[in-house]
Amino acid sequence: MIEILKAILFGIVEGVTEWLPISSTGHLILLNEFVNLNMSDEFRSMFDVVIQLGAILAVIVLFFHKLNPFSPGKSVKEKNQTWSLWFKVIVAIIPSGVVGVLFDDWMDAHLHNAIVVAIMLIVYGIAFIVVERRNTRGTFQRVSTKDGPTVSRLKDNKINNVYDITYRTALIIGLFQCLSLIPGTSRSGSTILGAILIGVGRAAGAEFSFFMAIPTMLGASAIKGLKFILSGVEATGTEIAVLIVGCIVSFVVSLAVIRGLMEYVRKHSFSAFGVYRIVLGVLVLGYFILK
181-226: pLDDT as tens digits: 898 898 898 999 999 999 999 899 999 999 999 999 898 888 888 8
For residue 153, pLDDT over 60 is answered with no
Domain that holds residue 177: 2-290
For residue 162, pLDDT over 90 is answered with yes
Provide the 8-state DSSP code for 159: B
Quote the pLDDT of residue 52.
Answer: 87
Q: Report in angstroms the alpha-carbon separations of 248 from 58, 124, 241, 243, 276.
A: 10, 30, 11, 9, 27
DSSP three-state, residue 218:
helix
Quote the pLDDT of residue 93.
Answer: 96
What is the CB-side half-sphere exposure of residue 249 using CA atoms within 13 A?
A: 20
Whole-angstrom distance, CA of residue 23 vs CA of residue 173: 17
Cβ partners under 8 Å of residue 100, min gap 6 = 181, 219, 220, 223
Band (146; pLDDT cuts 50, 70, 90): low
Contact 77/245 with Cβ under 8 angstroms? no
Provide the 8-state DSSP code for 268: -
Q: Check residues 267 and 65 and name the one with the higher pLDDT.
A: 65
Quote the pLDDT of residue 161.
Answer: 92
Mean pLDDT, residues 39-65 taken together = 89
Quote the pLDDT of residue 155.
Answer: 47
Whole-angstrom distance, CA of residue 4 vs CA of residue 50: 16
% the chain with pLDDT above 70: 92
Quote the pLDDT of residue 50.
Answer: 87
Contact 177/216 with Cβ under 8 angstroms? yes
Contact 211/59 with Cβ under 8 angstroms? yes
Whole-angstrom distance, CA of residue 216 vs CA of residue 96: 8
Band (44; pLDDT cuts 50, 70, 90): confident
For residue 140, pLDDT over 50 is answered with no
**How far, in whole angstroms, is CA 39 from its chain's centroid?**
26
Mean pLDDT, residues 238-265 taken together = 93
User: Of the candidates 14, 21, 5, 12, which has an alpha carbon nearest to the alpha carbon of residue 47?
Assistant: 14
For residue 255, pLDDT over 60 is answered with yes
Band (149; pLDDT cuts 50, 70, 90): low
Number of structural domains in the chain: 1
Size (the chain), residues = 291
Band (144; pLDDT cuts 50, 70, 90): low
Quote the pLDDT of residue 87.
Answer: 97
Band (77; pLDDT cuts 50, 70, 90): very high
